[in-house]
Amino acid sequence: MNKKQPNINVGAVILFLIFSLLFFVLLFRFISIQVTGEAGGQVVAAKAKQLYGGQSIIEARRGTIFDRNGEVIAEDANSYQLIAILSNSMTTDKDHPKHVVEPEKTAKELAKYIDMDEGDIYKRLTIGGDPFQVEFGSAGRDLSIQTKKELEELKLPGIIFQQDTNRFYPNGLFASHSIGYVDKQKNEEGKVVPQGMMGLEMTLNDLLTGTDGKFSYESDLWGYLLPNGDEVVKPAKNGKDVYLTIDKKIQIFLEDAMSKVDEEYSPEKMIAIVADPKTGDILGMSQRPSFDPKTKEGIDQTWRNLAIEDSFEPGSTMKIFTLAAAIEEGVFQPDASFQSGSYKVTEKSPQIKDHNGGKGWGTISYLEGIQRSSNVAIAKMVKEQLGYDTYREYLTEFGFDRPTGIDLPNETGGKIVYEWPLEKATTGFGQGTAITPMQQIQAATAIADDGKMKKPHVIKEIVDADKEKTEQKTKTEIAGQPISANTAKKVRDILETVVSSENGTGFNRYNIDGYEVAGKTGTAQIPKSGGGYLTGHENYVFSFIGMAPADDPELIVYVAVQQPDIDLSTNGAEPVSQIFKPVMKNSLSYLNIEPSDYAKLQVNETPNVSGMKVETAKKKLEELGLDPVVIGDGAEVAEQVPGDTFNMLEGEKVLIKTDGKLTVPDLGGWSLRDVLKFVKISNLKLNSVGNGYVVKQNLSPGSILSDGDYLIVELESPGNRAQQAEDEGAQDESSENGEEADEVRD
């Protein structure tokens, strides 16, 4: 036993030395980590945060684009992409497969929900090469939550969905080149993000795009939040919302009319603009070719916004501004006469000819020359009355040699060709010099609004929705005053005769029942690439710029149609009028602008009859020439519409709400303006069909009203009703004579 003791002591010493060495190594390592904060070349705190910390991205919403009334034009919306899992490696339980096991059945069911043939779906589901999954292109993208739910209810194995956020354009083809579209693009960091690619979506991309937020937290190894862990939330900053001057209803009037003309006449191009001359607001703007911002269908036909990016010879609509210059300078003499037909600016220059082949109309007055759109009349005015230098100054005053500055991208300016005498004279009637449609709109606001020319714009205001704060608001901006108010009125009076006079080029084409329209037609030649102009009945740009009501215009509408498919019996103005008339008429009616035929003496102020006995109130209103309508069966007046500070027209209806039960009046013959009064005072919801005056209503006269009821009215213009009565009379007469009604109509 004594011999073993030394060996034991030696072993103990060795173990002590080993453990001591390990202790000092660990101590050194611990101190080193404490001092440097690193281990294995990595920062310990960062590694711990990586292991026990988490972070979630809070995605920012792209700003919404609204029309002037808050109707959505473009917004972000959740959508879903359809994906089919083909790899059987995803299935661990044969009773609950996670991949497509019945391609034929799956293809048949999917074809009911996506825009793809059953056969094409089957080919994708049975593709060779053992792919993990397949997608279905555009047909399988942008699926709604409803479609997703319906497909999920089928419980098709292997069919899954991936959520995404896409830009949604609820109106389809709708001012597409002005609004633009959004596409997914890689940014500098390689991340795929939404990017505006055209129009306002592009120019306002930084404003519309928000900043993502994040949620940082501490968790255990299994990902559960620690009770006392730090949590940091950085909120997302959503993009700014943009309100436009465009009015959704007017824009729809425009798109519908242009689509009909496009289908019937297949023109090369079309442009149309609706503007408020008092503010410069663009209420509607469209073109063909155009595209659907969601599907991108048609985008390859043209990338340009033709209203601002294309300048072309305007034709005779330019005569409006030449006439205005002559009146302002005091040199226009409407009753003075000249020889129409042809005219030579210099002895060596080619003849300027009137549009009827140079035949003219003999010796006529300058007023008739404007009505007939005589090129000779305008050329003589520019050379002999205004003078070239003075006229050139007016071209600048009307803004034709510079862009308007509208808040849309890529606007170009005019190209005034004004060197030789012939060029100077032809510029007066819109040949040789090129300008944009938007420049014409801007110049026309001076004619419509007593000489004050308004800068056009499409952005009404920009709003930070998170802060509920308006960050930018567009104000009316006067771009110049080229003419006086007196001159503007004289020009409108003359342009009204272009539409109303039998001599006028707009007669029987641009007249609108109930309203006086002031306007000017245009028929511009199209230059050939090698010089000269195209020939042929259809090879022109046919246009019209009109304003109404003529005495105090509320709207300006410009329409241009290039090279429509028309035969020799069809005037080029026909497709133009098929856009101008319905758009102008429907817009005036929608805006409740009173027809001039029905405008009567104004009553300065409507008296306040609230609280009076019904009979007393009726008598007082009737004495002022107003038409009181009692709503309800009570004895006293509880409310009136309009109120006591509202300017009224003689004979206009004043609605009296009594303190009894509300009843429905007979709305037959009421204007939409009066119907809106009834809706307001009765707290109803309105759905109107047509324009003009009420011919049908869904709520029976005399029935009791309830808050929130729907009122549906059908309206017709007096002209349509008269024509209908005439047709019915003709039909009755033909029936008495034993003739077929359709033979009479033919």
Q: Which residue in the block uniquely carries the two structure tokens 């009909």? A: 260
Name the token pair of 65. Answer: 């684009």
Q: How far is Cα 49 from Cα 287, in angstroms, rounded to an integer?
A: 57
Q: Which residue in the block uniquely carries the two structure tokens 């689509």? A: 259
Encoded amino acid at 342, one letter: S
Q: What angle do CA 334, 335, 336 make, to 5 degrees?
A: 95
Q: How far is Cα 34 from Cα 447, in angstroms, rounded to an integer?
A: 82
Q: Residue 507 contacts by C-beta under 8 Å, 6 or more apart in sequence?
A: 498, 499, 500, 501
Q: Residue 369 contacts by C-beta under 8 Å, 6 or more apart in sequence?
A: 338, 340, 376, 377, 378
Are 345 and 505 in contact, with CB atoms under 8 Å apart?
Answer: no
Are 648 and 671 in contact, with CB atoms under 8 Å apart?
Answer: no
Are 685 and 710 in contact, with CB atoms under 8 Å apart?
Answer: yes
Q: How far is Cα 619 from Cα 631, in angstroms, rounded to an integer?
A: 16
Are 517 and 555 in contact, with CB atoms under 8 Å apart?
Answer: no
Q: How far is Cα 646 from Cα 620, in angstroms, rounded to an integer?
A: 16
Name the token pair of 478. Answer: 């006067």
Ramachandran angles phi, psi of 241, nearest 5°: -90, 145
Looking at the DSSP assignment, which residues form a beta bridge with residue 275?
A: 282, 556
Q: Residue 293 contacts by C-beta under 8 Å, 6 or more apart in sequence?
A: 74, 167, 169, 174, 176, 179, 180, 181
CA dihedral 184, 189, 191, 197 (to 10 degrees): -10
Residue from 649, 435, 592, 587 nearest 524 by CA: 435
SS (H, E, C) 632-695: CCCCEEEEEECCCCCCEECCCEEEEEECCCCECCCCCCCEHHHHHHHHHHHCCEEEEEECCEEE
Residue from 474, 473, 471, 467 nearest 238 by CA: 467
Residue from 82, 84, 79 nearest 146 by CA: 79
Ramachandran angles phi, psi of 624, nearest 5°: -90, 5
Q: How far is Cα 438 from Cα 400, in angstroms, rounded to an integer?
A: 10
CA distances from 344 to 81, 260, 329, 332, 377 (A): 69, 42, 24, 20, 12
Mark whether 138 is an active-site residue.
no
Q: How far is Cα 80 from Cα 135, in angstroms, rounded to an integer?
A: 12
Catalytic residue among 316, 500, 543, 589: 316
594, HSE (Cβ side, Cα atoms, 13 Å) = 16
Q: How far is Cα 319 from Cα 502, in angstroms, rounded to an integer?
A: 19
Q: How far is Cα 640 from Cα 74, in angstroms, rounded to an integer?
A: 39
Looking at the DSSP assignment, which residues form a beta bridge with residue 168?
A: 75
3-state class (DSSP) for residue 134: strand
Say what angle helices 319-328 and 485-500 make with each other, to 10 degrees: 140
Residue from 71, 314, 57, 26 nearest 193 by CA: 57
Name the token pair of 322. Answer: 């030449």
Are 408 and 203 in contact, with CB atoms under 8 Å apart?
Answer: yes
Encoded amino acid at 528, one letter: K
Backbone conformation region of residue 592, classed left if phi is above 0, alpha if psi is from -120 to 50, else beta: left
Looking at the DSSP assignment, which residues form a beta bridge with residue 342?
A: 353
Are 580 and 557 in contact, with CB atoms under 8 Å apart?
Answer: yes
Looking at the DSSP assignment, which residues form a beta bridge with residue 640?
A: 656
CA distances from 127 to 103, 161, 162 (A): 10, 20, 21
Q: Which are the catalytic amino acids? A: 316
